[in-house]
Structure 1
Amino acid sequence: MSSCTKACQHEQSPYTPPDWAKGLAVIPKTRIKLAQLPTPIHSWSVPGLPDGFQLYIKRDDLTGSTLSGNKVRKLEFIFSEVLDQGCDTVITGGSLQSNHARATAVVAKELGMDSHCVLFNKDTDVNIEPKGNLLLSRLTDSLIGLIPQGNLNDAFNVYSRIFTDLSNKLQAKGKKPYVIELGAASPVGCWGYIEAFKEMIDQGLFDNFDDIVVCLGAGGTACGIGVANYLTGSKLKIHGISIGMAAVQLSLHMDEELSALGLKHPDGRTIKTAELMDLADEPGLGYSLTTESELKLLTEVSSSTGIVLDTTFTLKTYQHMMRMMKETPDKFKGNRILFIHTGGLYGLKGLDETLLTSKETNKVHCIDDFVTV
């Protein structure tokens, strides 16, 4: 089964949900294979891990190459719906180094579609040197629009207006656009991590872990994990660390997803995000801004474990988790912690100059020795 507008390298097939999720109000009819799954889970011997804790990592940074990261799991369901609806163009948005926008642009072009990505940046100069995710989006011919970065707590409302306006303009030109929410955080996209949870169950999730720690950008990844955990008996405790938006504000959008999915208590009350997970904020200097101490932590982890975190999401989430382990260990259900690596490595290209000039990370540009051949 396929509706691709030209030779398609991805297989689309009917989708059957896990038995425990069949009662949800929104269930995708089809799924298109984009990610390289399953991704591994393994122990993670990080420096300074507090005594008593065992740390493991789910490697969703390994879901692909140009399609690496957590977003591709969600796009498997969203782009399948795009195909089913016969759309020829997708619209989405995010930050200048958006992993989601990059993944969307790549998939769209692989399926023979156009993509429009509206990106926010503090600097509104359009003469920006393309690096990292932005470069990949441009290489796959995505049409990029730039808007000034405003209050991230209002991002969903701002983008809703922009997406509606752009969609109307494209329809007037004879196109059939499909709007993909920020971060693919939608009831359909949520299924990417409902399925990921099923994958983790098959990898021994219930027997081997007590807690899951995951970052919150637009909330879709944590929403899927939280829904799946609830539907399977709430055996684990979920910790969602919000980066950018205030957790209390982001939870309102996530509550809308839960309502659309029809997730309810036995007595009919709609379940709220705060009932599915512990929410916390880790803004640091601000969205996509990195401190000297965070850069030092980045290189400490990568040089000792070989695992490279991205500075926008996973590094700050890791930093918050380690602080919790040291200062408030009772917040965890147990001592066997699973950290979700959501990818984002292409975003490091936007940090070239920062990494090279930082006193804490100057070793990244040092040559140790010359070898005589």
Structure 2
Amino acid sequence: MSLSSSFARRLVPFTPPSFIPPSALATAPASYLPLCNLPTPIHRLPSPSSISSLVPSLLVKRDDATGGTELGGNKLRKLEFLLAAAISEGADTVVTIGGIQSNHCRATACAARAAGLDAHLILRCLDPSSDVASAPSLGNLLFSRSAGAVLHTVSKEEYGRHGSTKLVDAVCETLRGEGLSPYAIPVGGSNALGTWGYVRAAAEFRAQAESDPELASVKHVVFATGSGGTAAGLAIGISLAWARAGEEPPKLYAVGVCDTPDYFYKFQGAILAEMGFFESADEAEAHLRRVLVIMNGRGRGYAVSTDAECEFISAYAKRSGLFLDSVYTGKVLYKFCSEVEEGRVVVGEGEDVMFWHTGGAIGGYAEPRLAGGFEKERRLEL
């Protein structure tokens, strides 16, 4: 018996959260593949020093701990549903796409291998002829290689010219010609199916809030948005879960690390409409604009960091022991703290901020500036 068929027997029936409306129940997935360590914990840590006078501490939802080192992060919640679909459809291979240090590609490669599936990863590079070859053991790329994924490289220009969907479809077509049965996974795992992972996560957070009185003070929740699925799932899930309980939901802030807020509202609205939560994408977008503030935190561009951002990440690691990465979580918290400092986000007395940590620390290995200063290093002499 193959690994994939034995894993297929481990697919678990999915019970949608109680707050899901009938229109969305019709599109809910039938099953998922249990990969995550759930529920992920919520830790209280010192807030970054830049806002400590306004926000003394920070609650952190540790979705960096969804799996082991090779699996951890927000992508795994989506992959539980996406890989279940791949197995159910009889696929033997998955194909997905991202940047050279893509957390999603790394998690897909490792999770697919655990499920008995092969993985083909399309990686966007500055220089496809040398980037991958010159970094055989760097960050996410190390784990993708170690899991035996087949790597396909494209330039930034090729990616922009053709788009991620066309590139994934092209590799899938080639694999079909070789007698394989590929399953296409979009960039970031962000489609209607993958987004159910974060609708489910919202239900998890609601259950934690109901069982822990300390979480009643959470009035602000901040998280990253890069491909859109995480933010879409949390926005609809949290707004519905709190509404069902007759309570005002916390204010939600998604910090974009690429694209623009208008793009994210439109893209995420289309996802929620496809999931059946709204009759149209326009109606879904209007809801998102009411419940979710999307900030532009891309700075100099996707996966491009300023010295100030890197210094912030390094300083916060020294203050709290929490490591953020320079592509997602570091930029997100840096941007949010800037908004608080400058008075554009107001945190009232007694209100807690929860930062939803979506993982990505492995990608930080590629950014030497995160090491900070070396003033505490000493030469040991006996």
Q: TM-score, normalised by structure 1?
A: 0.89
Q: Quote the offset at 1:274 in angstroms.
A: 2.4
What's the counterpart of residue 228 of structure 2?
A: 219
What's the counterpart of residue 304 of structure 2?
A: 289
SS of equivalent to 1:271 = helix
What's the counterpart of residue 173 of structure 1?
A: 178
Q: Quote the offset at 1:18 in angstroms.
A: 1.0
Counterpart amino acid of residue 203 in structure 2: K
Q: Quote the offset at 1:194 in angstroms.
A: 1.0
The correspondence for 2:50, drawn from 48, 51, 65, is: 48
What's the counterpart of residue 270 of structure 1?
A: 283
Q: Quote the offset at 1:56 in angstroms.
A: 1.1
Find the aligned partners of 1:43 and 1:119 in 2 and give their Cα distance.
36
SS of equivalent to 2:46 = coil
What's the counterpart of residue 237 of structure 1?
A: 251
Q: Say if 1:9 and 1:305 are closer, same or farther in 2 by CA, change over 3 A.
A: farther
What's the counterpart of residue 14 of structure 2?
A: 15
CA contact (8 A) 2:272 2:281 kept: no
CA contact (8 A) 1:213 1:238 kept: yes
Counterpart amino acid of residue 355 in structure 2: F
Q: Say if 1:6 and 1:367 are closer, same or farther in 2 by CA, change over 3 A.
A: farther
Q: Say if 1:56 and 1:248 are closer, same or farther in 2 by CA, change over 3 A.
A: same
CA contact (8 A) 1:50 1:325 kept: no
SS of equivalent to 1:191 = helix
Q: Quote the offset at 1:285 in angstroms.
A: 2.0
Find the aligned partners of 2:273 and 2:196 in 1 and give their Cα distance.
14
Counterpart amino acid of residue 48 in structure 1: S
CA contact (8 A) 2:8 2:87 kept: no
What's the counterpart of residue 189 of structure 1?
A: 194
Q: Does 1:83 align with 2:87?
A: yes
Q: Quote the offset at 1:115 in angstroms.
A: 0.7
Find the aligned partners of 2:281 and 2:190 in 1 and give their Cα distance.
24
SS of equivalent to 1:278 = strand
Instruction: Deviation per CA, 1:186-244: give whole Å up to 9, x if none.
Output: 11111111111111111117723111101111011111101102322261221111002
CA contact (8 A) 1:3 1:84 kept: no
Find the aligned partners of 1:124 and 1:173 in 2 and give their Cα distance.
24
Q: Quote the offset at 1:50 in angstroms.
A: 4.4
Find the aligned partners of 1:355 and 1:317 in 2 and give their Cα distance.
15
Q: How do 1:101-116 residues align onto structure 2 when only pairs under 5 Å count?
A: 101-116=105-120
My pick for the range that moved more, 9-18 or 327-336, is: 327-336
What's the counterpart of residue 147 of structure 1?
A: 154
The correspondence for 2:124, drawn from 120, 124, 127, is: 120
Find the aligned partners of 2:8 and 2:85 in 1 and give their Cα distance.
17
Find the aligned partners of 1:195 and 1:149 in 2 and give their Cα distance.
34
Q: Quote the offset at 1:362 in angstroms.
A: 3.0
Instruction: Deviation per CA, 1:58-79: give whole Å up to 9, x if none.
Output: 1111112210111111111111
Alignment size in residue pairs: 362
CA contact (8 A) 1:60 1:340 kept: yes
CA contact (8 A) 1:117 1:143 kept: yes
Q: How do 1:336-355 residues align onto structure 2 when only pairs under 5 Å count?
A: 336-352=352-368, 354-355=369-370
CA contact (8 A) 2:104 2:189 kept: yes
Q: Does 1:363 align with 2:363?
A: no
Find the aligned partners of 1:187 and 1:287 in 2 and give their Cα distance.
24
What's the counterpart of residue 39 of structure 2?
A: 38
The correspondence for 2:135, drawn from 125, 129, 136, is: 129
Counterpart amino acid of residue 255 in structure 1: G
Q: TM-score, normalised by structure 2?
A: 0.87
CA contact (8 A) 1:211 1:333 kept: no
Q: State, as a whole percentage, how many aligned pairs show the same letter.
A: 27
What's the counterpart of residue 315 of structure 1?
A: 330
Q: Say if 1:111 and 1:281 are closer, same or farther in 2 by CA, change over 3 A.
A: same
What is the alpha-carbon root mean square deviation over aligned residues? 2.6
Q: Quote the offset at 1:96 in angstroms.
A: 0.3
CA contact (8 A) 2:313 2:370 kept: no
Find the aligned partners of 1:319 and 1:268 in 2 and give their Cα distance.
31
Q: Does 1:100 align with 2:113?
A: no
Counterpart amino acid of residue 356 in structure 2: I
Q: Say if 1:371 and 1:86 are closer, same or farther in 2 by CA, change over 3 A.
A: farther
Q: Say if 1:11 and 1:370 are closer, same or farther in 2 by CA, change over 3 A.
A: farther
CA contact (8 A) 1:237 1:333 kept: no
Counterpart amino acid of residue 18 in structure 2: D
My pick for the range that moved more, 269-278 or 191-200, is: 269-278
SS of equivalent to 2:163 = helix
Give unpaired runs (5+ residues) of structure 1.
none
CA contact (8 A) 1:211 1:237 kept: yes
Give unpaired runs (5+ residues) of structure 2.
none
Q: Say if 1:3 and 1:183 are closer, same or farther in 2 by CA, change over 3 A.
A: farther
Find the aligned partners of 1:10 and 1:367 in 2 and give their Cα distance.
52
CA contact (8 A) 1:119 1:146 kept: yes
Find the aligned partners of 1:367 and 1:6 in 2 and give their Cα distance.
52
Q: Quote the offset at 1:120 in angstroms.
A: 0.6
Counterpart amino acid of residue 238 in structure 2: N
Q: Does 1:210 align with 2:219?
A: yes
